Amino acid sequence: MDVIPAIDLLEGRCVRLYQGDYDQAQTFNDDPVAVAQQWEDQGATWLHLVDLDGAKTGQPTNHKIIEAIVNAVNIPVQVGGGLRSRDTVATLLNLGVNRAILGTVAVENPQLVAELCQEFPKQIVVGIDARDGKVATRGWLETSEVLATELADQMAQLGASAIIYTDIHRDGTLQGPNKAALREVASEVAIPVIASGGISSVTDLLSLLSLEPLGVTGAIVGRALYTGDVDLKEAIQAVGWGRLQDIPPDFGGSALA
């Protein structure tokens, strides 16, 4: 299971929101490129970038920063936020982004998702952000009547390479992942599912290993990395040992308590 650091971009800064609330944005760093290099140095194998400005307005605005990050690191990068047309997806991929994450458009225009999956095979991921099991759209500002499990199944059939499932009630709260919801989504599809939202400790990451046989292949970690609740290098090592069921009893100190 990959431990994937999140870098959320808002007005050029690295921030974290609380439950998707733009009025509760906390700035952690004014230099997202330096943050990206830091996570790579600590062993990250992927980076997860979100253009929060784009998610809110429907028009990505952080292309220059995203391009700078792509050029500064040697690991693959996936990006979401405001990707609601073929041109915005193509522009990002042309910058060197490895995977484009579609959210709102998956609900509002599934035919476009199908076309993009065909044009850019293995480069289209669908982000499903849910409140109480129902999909939220437009930067989490609206909630649809579409069930997350139904959308996951539809997107898998259309050719999405993976699903990123975010429980909005857990996002930015450090309350732990919603394993029940992840289990439901992963049971619906035969493509990888990446967990997002609420991860607060190495213990939370290790708990997700029980879902790996169902297809939960990664976990995105945001606020916990920036607050120091999770040390990325230790977390990656712990997950590796956990998969082998060989976690040293003293590993990570209080992080495993």
Tell me the catalytic residues.
8, 129
Task: Give the whole-angstrom CA distance, residue 128 versus residue 202.
Answer: 24
Both structure tokens of 115: 């076309």
Report the b/e string of 98-137 with b at 16+ CB within 10 A: bbbbbbbbbbeebebbbebbeebeebbbbbbbbbebbbbb
Measured in degrees and rounded to the nearest 5, phi and psi for residue 170 equal: -95, -20
Measured in degrees and rounded to the nearest 5, phi and psi for residue 183 equal: -60, -40
Q: What is the DSSP letter of 214?
A: G
- For residue 114, what are the CA distances in angstroms to 87, 108, 118, 155? 15, 12, 6, 8
Both structure tokens of 135: 């999909």
